[in-house]
Structure 1
């Protein structure tokens, strides 16, 4: 048999494997639903439901002064947009009851000498009580409180100087400038991370079931009887899922633009190229897992624990890696989603190019080649055993 004829046979066998995978997907309605609807569902849930922005925090006030100064002070909180006025009480005990019931998160106690002390230019103590049962929310709320009090104090200082000198003097002119996410929308932070999580779910979970399904149905023997070596078998198995995962990545970007106004500031071509590399990393991992496990149930469990969970926890998607124990920080270096997330956040939010992330991109390429090599060797071993 000539070499050219053998190549034609191999090419036809490769196309048959790819066609068979697409045929199986088209007959499996559940897989189609997972591939198309789950990414959109997760995007909407994370975009609208999961947010680090805290607004309309219920506020209860105990004002013993009842003066114009104290009303202006209270108005600073209500007009900020962070707090929502819930009730005004006559005693500190009433604030305690509200906090214990969980109806309010913040209580403010204004002393009776508030206006006199402020009018005289002296420091006055205002008690702020915050529900600390949710530590993260409490820290954010505390930051809001400090910001509002600082703004009120600056206004008072300026008015006090005007009364003493007859001249309006600006004490502090604060002009903050926020880069990369001016509106401080947490959805802009979540969507790139969601892309990495969905890509990992689509590639690892879906492809890891591929060979496991073949083994359970008894069709794996037919597969290895073709004139294809493990390299072409893995390629044929991976291409359909790579195309679908790539389609999902574009779908997420379009949905993020339409629903949340998230714009890609950097090179779209670079973003898609890195996404393709990350998709191949996930596909290779899925195929490696499918050669290790024997049943589809075991495959799903191993794939979920070994790839999806680490990609969610150890990729800097939600939880900052720098705040983790040293051991977990070391483990995170072996999670490809960490490097992918760093790159796409830089491209989408900052407009970075390839050179700003050359180290992360290089590691992803190395990981892609390494996992493909391991997957090929594992498949060779499996074929010999059968």
Structure 2
């Protein structure tokens, strides 16, 4: 009898606790929304964004022959689904500009004697220039190139020459050249990407958790009760963490050089200036998150969605953006890490300057100013509410 009564009491207590938790959840709809949205968000982003397929590789062609053979050779690449022809040019020097600027990842140069040499049964040299900054992609793309050239030689040229000369051979002699990362070391591609990922995560968590912690402890109310302009409050919160983050970025570059032989081929000062702009982007974003989240737990959840997932998946850190669905490609334009990685990889691996990446630098400046303005607005609103 007593055991049955205790079981009933335990059951009632359990039901009361469950009811109480649901009541508390109903009062904190933000947490409920976060709990529901995070799994769906991760599933969609990782399901569509994480892909190892290499497609639509930007291709530039310098066709100095302009014959039926050369056109069929180019068509083999464009119809394969692996390459996207961005331009056909007549000047050899322009191939360099396309690869340096990042507008093309592969350049093909067909010589003037392309069709004549093939028609006479001789082997002809075709130069392929690859952007090797992403070693994994370059290796895969090089395999595609060999596969397409072999198919061209087998299906078109060899049969044609065999009918005329009665002999079979491989007529196209590929001469591949790897730029920016001749040894195809994947670490040269990932270290700059890791730098962007680490800096974004650190800067956002630094400022967001700082204010969230003060709000939980009650010290934030004392701070905003003082007759101080919100601008100075934000500056006072941001500057110390900006100094620490900047020191971290220098240490990462130094470790990359000492441990992985990663040299900065471009201007180091330009790299540090862009890094400082990116740092302020992350710190300002952290301030905005801190004014939205009411606790450190919710701050961590929002920061995870706002930094880790976009910076890892949608920035081009590991997975090529061009292979993602159009909607994710559109969202990636709102991710500051995308532009930062474009700049630092250009400076570190290609020796570029800010001029070659002016659009990315301008976006980072715009994002920095916009987030600073939004954080000031949110902080003023929070001060009025408190």
Q: Same fold (TM over 0.5)?
A: yes
Change (3 A) 1:175 1:229: same
* Whole-angstrom distance in 1 between the partners of 2:187 and 2:322: 21
Length-normalised TM-score, structure 2: 0.57
The aligned counterpart of 1:384 is: 384
Runs of 4 or more consecutive aligned structure 1 residues displaced over 3 Å after TM superposition: 139-147, 169-175
Deviation for aligned residue 1:170:
11
* Unpaired runs of at least 5, structure 1: 1-51, 53-135, 154-168
Change (3 A) 1:145 1:364: closer
The aligned counterpart of 2:320 is: 320
The aligned counterpart of 1:12 is: none
* Whole-angstrom distance in 2 between the partners of 1:302 and 1:179: 40
Deviation for aligned residue 1:201:
1.0
* Unpaired runs of at least 5, structure 2: 1-51, 53-135, 154-168
The aligned counterpart of 2:360 is: 360
Q: Is the 8 A contact 1:204 1:307 kept in 2?
A: yes
* Whole-angstrom distance in 2 between the partners of 1:332 and 1:326: 10
- After superposition, residues 301-340 of structure 1 pair within 5 angstroms as 301-340=301-340
Per-residue CA distance 1:231-262 (angstroms, 9 max, x = gap):
11111111111111111111111111111111
- After superposition, residues 215-234 of structure 1 pair within 5 angstroms as 215-234=215-234
Q: Is the 8 A contact 1:340 1:364 kept in 2?
A: yes
* Whole-angstrom distance in 2 between the partners of 1:295 and 1:373: 23
SS in 2 for 1:177: strand
The aligned counterpart of 1:31 is: none
Q: Is the 8 A contact 1:339 1:361 kept in 2?
A: yes
The aligned counterpart of 2:73 is: none
Per-residue CA distance 1:124-145 (angstroms, 9 max, x = gap):
xxxxxxxxxxxx99x9599399
Deviation for aligned residue 1:171:
6.7
* Whole-angstrom distance in 2 between the partners of 1:220 and 1:145: 60
Q: Is the 8 A contact 1:205 1:304 kept in 2?
A: no
The aligned counterpart of 1:207 is: 207
The aligned counterpart of 1:124 is: none
Deviation for aligned residue 1:173:
5.3
The aligned counterpart of 1:176 is: 176
The aligned counterpart of 2:255 is: 255
The aligned counterpart of 1:265 is: 265
Deviation for aligned residue 1:226:
2.4
* Whole-angstrom distance in 1 between the partners of 2:350 and 2:140: 25
Per-residue CA distance 1:214-233 (angstroms, 9 max, x = gap):
10001011111223211111
- After superposition, residues 149-188 of structure 1 pair within 5 angstroms as 174-188=174-188
Deviation for aligned residue 1:176:
2.4
The aligned counterpart of 1:189 is: 189
Change (3 A) 1:355 1:215: same
Corresponding residue pairs, total? 234
Change (3 A) 1:141 1:365: closer
Per-residue CA distance 1:171-199 (angstroms, 9 max, x = gap):
76544221111001111111111111000
Superposed CA RMSD in Å reads: 2.8
Per-residue CA distance 1:287-311 (angstroms, 9 max, x = gap):
0000001100100110011122111
Change (3 A) 1:354 1:146: closer
SS in 2 for 1:210: helix
Per-residue CA distance 1:46-72 (angstroms, 9 max, x = gap):
xxxxxx9xxxxxxxxxxxxxxxxxxxx
Deviation for aligned residue 1:385:
0.6
* Whole-angstrom distance in 1 between the partners of 2:343 and 2:243: 21
Q: Is the 8 A contact 1:332 1:338 kept in 2?
A: yes
SS in 1 for 2:227: coil
Deviation for aligned residue 1:367:
0.5
SS in 2 for 1:184: coil
The aligned counterpart of 1:64 is: none
* Whole-angstrom distance in 2 between the partners of 1:142 and 1:265: 24
Q: Is the 8 A contact 1:238 1:283 kept in 2?
A: yes
- After superposition, residues 283-298 of structure 1 pair within 5 angstroms as 283-298=283-298
